[in-house]
């Protein structure tokens, strides 16, 4: 039938459209699709009892057949019958394994063990593991191998214990998509509805297309990137969530207060909802919640993204750099300073490349205060030419840098076909030139000698961090202080 987003869904459900589709697929942000599910049940059931006429099933693959049997069973009552597959695993695949582990990690960091356990078991299912595989193993972390995204599995220890203590099963890897597709194509009895909620979908799958063709798909996903468009979309969802909480109380919350709230919580809808309810009680009879209320009532729970830290360092803002460093390490986001040092080093290397470009013959179009439209028109073509020359140089150097092809048992033709790549290019794999523009602007804040010294200091800190235990934060702080402090022009 159609695919709409969660904002359109509010108007769609309030429109009183009838007859309603027999199938609904809700996917994306958990807090949003659960809110839509509740609204949908109110609309479909009307005055009917939710206890009698609504039958939810946990979305394990082995429960699909039971849910289909339930929705096809005629009810003794004339009221509608709703069957739901909640948090379904229908679209899980190895393609989204990294995202599954990330969601397990995020839930564990938020002390939501029930949610973390659900994603943790999904990850084990994708790896074809069973609880029996862990019996007799002294180190279950070693059995899992490398933790996705690097680091250790220490974050998963309470999740693992929670799963075992509550005898939670690992979902079966069997795929019920075919039987569900056939049931969807056949349809259900009049007045019966099947609702599927899931955090992840794969729009390329035939199952998704079948659900979209026969029913209504409601997209509750929110972009998780850090681009301006992504942050704007997140801000819209946050404002919508705050309005929903305030509406029953008749209270208002100005832009300054909302910005203060978001700075403390970040994009965490569950925490935002709980905090707004706290602010409602804290403000008492006053009709408006102020930014002073926010600062006086709430504690900072936001998990800062890594880019906030690296931006502060490359902006040479020492206070912000040390603040975000402390936040990232104390929150458990990083259990060692090395990844943060690597991120800083990577940014310094980019600044050096940008500085070399601006001082080369290709960088004549770049100047301090260059506007973004002018950059797009005059500088971007020069950057592409600069990168093309780099690729040509690497191609010319490659034969002398590689071992003899005959020794490796390879033909010269195979050697030539090897893809040439380098992190010394300006554009790299970036499709948008804006990050390159920002790097060039930041490079104007440094001299070439300052950047070279910063790279040397980062390399020395890397060597010492790999040899030391405690005190690693102090080494990283010294590097950051050195980068943020400007060089004395009168000093040799």
For the chain, the domain total comes to 4
**Is 207 in the same domain as 63?**
yes
- On whether both 272 and 375 belong to a single domain, the answer is no
For 79, what's the count of Cα atoms within 13 Å in the CB-facing half-sphere? Answer: 16
The reported pLDDT for the residue numbered 431 is 60
- Residue 491's pLDDT is what? 45
Distance CA 292, CA 283 (A): 10
- CATH number, position 429: 1.20.272.10
- The answer to whether position 428 is within a domain reads yes
- In angstroms, what is the C-alpha Rg of the chain? 28
Say what the pLDDT of residue 170 is: 83
Taking the CB of residue 345, how many other CB atoms lie within 10 A of it? 18
In a domain, 408, yes or no: no
Shared domain check, 118 and 248: no
Within this chain, do residues 137 and 195 fall inside the same structural domain, yes or no?
Answer: no
Question: Which letter, b or e, does each residue of 248-285 get, where b requires 16 or more Cβ atoms within 10 Å of its Cβ?
Answer: eeebebeeebbebbbebbbbbbebbbebbeebbeebee
Asked whether residue 62 is domain-assigned, the answer is yes
Asked whether residue 290 is assigned to any structural domain, the reply reads yes
**Does 240 lie in the same domain as 342?**
no
- Domain extent for 143: 94-165
Residue 439 located in a structural domain: yes
Please give the C-alpha separations between residue 405 and each of 360, 417, 421, in angstroms, as whole numbers: 35, 12, 19
41-80 burial, b at 16+ Cβ within 10 Å, e below that, comes to beebbeebeeeebbebbebbbebbeebbebbbeeeeeebb
378 pairs with which residues across the strands? Answer: none
Q: Which is it for strands 288-289 and 252-253: parallel, antiparallel or unpaired?
A: parallel
Domain of 240, CATH number, reads 1.10.8.60
Judgement on whether residues 194 and 280 belong to the same structural domain of the protein: no
pLDDT (0 to 100) of residue 348: 92
Q: What is the DSSP letter of 75?
A: P
Nearest to 56 by CA among 28, 21, 81, 86: 86
Domain boundary, last residue among 256, 275, 297:
297
Cα–Cα distance between 92 and 284 in angstroms, integer? Answer: 46
Domain contains 404: no
Is there a single domain that holds both residue 202 and residue 236? Answer: no
| Strand partners of residue 26 | 197, 218
CB 116 within 8 Å of CB 104: yes
Element at 401 (helix H, strand E): helix 380-401
Please indicate, yes or no, if residue 239 is contained in any of the structural domains: yes
pLDDT of 480 reads: 92
Q: Is 7 exposed, middle or buried (0-12, 13-18, 19+ CB in 10 A)?
A: middle
**Residues 330 and 446 grouped into a single domain:** yes
Residue 275 CA to residue 299 CA, distance in Å, equals 9
Closest CA to 199 of 176, 175, 224, 169: 224
Q: How far is it between the farthest Cα atoms of the chain?
A: 91
- Shared domain for 459 and 424, answered yes or no, is yes
Which pLDDT value is given to residue 417? 45
Considering only CA atoms, which of 88, 32, 79, 16 is closest in space to residue 51? Answer: 79
Which token pair is 65? 């057949």
| Residue pLDDT tens, the chain, 492 long | 688 988 888 888 888 777 889 999 999 988 899 999 999 999 988 888 888 889 999 887 788 889 999 998 887 767 789 999 998 888 877 777 777 888 888 777 766 788 888 888 888 888 778 888 777 655 667 677 666 555 567 778 888 888 888 888 887 766 788 889 889 899 998 889 999 999 888 888 888 999 999 999 999 988 876 667 777 888 888 998 899 899 899 999 999 999 999 888 888 888 888 889 999 999 888 999 999 999 888 877 776 677 788 889 999 999 988 888 888 887 666 777 888 888 899 899 999 999 999 988 898 889 888 888 889 888 989 988 888 888 888 888 877 766 554 455 554 444 444 555 566 778 765 567 888 888 999 999 999 999 999 999 999 988 888 876 556 788 889 999 999 987 654 444
Instruction: Write out the H or E segment, with its range, that includes residue 217.
Output: strand 216-220
| Shared-domain flag, residues 375 and 389 | yes
Separation CA 126–CA 89 (nearest Å): 11
Whether residues 329 and 448 share a domain: the answer is yes
Please list the helix, strand and coil fractions of the chain in percent, rounded to the nearest 5, in that order. 60, 10, 35
Residue 409 lies in a domain: no
CATH number at residue 84: 3.40.50.300
> Residues 102, 81: one domain?
no
Cα–Cα distance, 320 to 455 (Å, whole number): 21
Helices 228-246 and 269-283: crossing angle in degrees, nearest 10, is 40
Q: Which of 266, 297, 328 is the last residue of a domain?
A: 297
């Amino acid at each position: 039938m159609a695919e709409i987003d969660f904002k359109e869904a509010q108007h769609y459900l309030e429109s009183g459209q009838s007859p309603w589709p027999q199938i609904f697929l809700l996917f994306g942000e958990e807090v949003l699709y659960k809110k839509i599910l509740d609204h949908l049940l109110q609309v479909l059931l009307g005055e009917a009892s939710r206890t009698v006429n609504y039958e939810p099933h946990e979305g394990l693959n082995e429960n699909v057949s039971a849910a289909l049997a339930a929705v096809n069973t005629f009810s003794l009552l004339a009221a509608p019958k709703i069957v739901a597959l909640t948090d379904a695993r229908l679209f899980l695949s190895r393609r989204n394994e990294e995202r599954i582990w990330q969601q397990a990690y995020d839930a564990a960091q938020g002390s939501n063990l029930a949610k973390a356990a659900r994603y943790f078991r999904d990850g084990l299912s994708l790896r074809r593991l069973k609880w029996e595989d862990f019996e007799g193993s002294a180190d279950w972390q070693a059995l899992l191998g490398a933790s996705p995204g690097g680091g250790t599995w220490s974050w998963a220890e309470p999740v693992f214990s929670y799963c075992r203590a509550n005898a939670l099963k690992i979902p079966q890897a069997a795929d019920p998509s075919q039987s569900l597709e056939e049931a969807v194509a056949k349809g259900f009895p009049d007045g019966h509805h099947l609702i599927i909620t899931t955090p992840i979908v794969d729009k390329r799958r035939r199952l998704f297309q079948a659900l979209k063709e026969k029913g209504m798909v409601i997209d509750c996903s929110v972009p998780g990137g850090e681009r301006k468009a992504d942050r704007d979309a997140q801000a819209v969802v946050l404002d919508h969530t705050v309005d929903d909480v305030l509406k029953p109380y008749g209270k208002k919350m100005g832009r300054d207060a909302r910005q203060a709230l978001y700075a403390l919580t970040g994009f965490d809808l569950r925490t935002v909802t709980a905090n707004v309810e706290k602010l409602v009680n804290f403000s008492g009879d006053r009709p408006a919640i102020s930014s002073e209320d926010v600062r006086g009532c709430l504690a900072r729970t936001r998990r800062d993204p890594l880019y906030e830290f690296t931006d502060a360092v490359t902006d040479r803002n020492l206070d912000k750099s040390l603040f975000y460093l402390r936040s990232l390490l104390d929150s458990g986001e990083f259990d060692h300073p090395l990844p943060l040092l690597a991120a800083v080093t990577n940014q310094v290397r980019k600044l050096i490349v940008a500085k070399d470009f601006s001082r080369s013959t290709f960088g004549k179009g770049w100047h301090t205060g260059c506007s973004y439209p002018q950059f797009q028109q005059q500088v971007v073509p020069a950057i592409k030419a600069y990168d093309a020359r780099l690729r040509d140089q690497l191609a010319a150097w490659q034969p002398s840098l590689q071992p003899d092809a005959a020794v490796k048992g390879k033909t010269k033709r195979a050697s030539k076909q090897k893809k040439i790549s380098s992190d010394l290019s300006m554009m790299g794999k970036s499709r948008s030139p804006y990050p390159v523009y920002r790097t060039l602007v930041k490079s104007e804040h440094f001299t070439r000698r300052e950047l070279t010294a910063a790279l040397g200091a980062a390399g020395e800190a890397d060597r010492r961090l790999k040899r030391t235990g405690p005190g690693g934060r102090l080494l990283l702080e010294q590097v950051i202080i050195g980068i943020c402090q400007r060089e004395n022009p009168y000093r040799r």
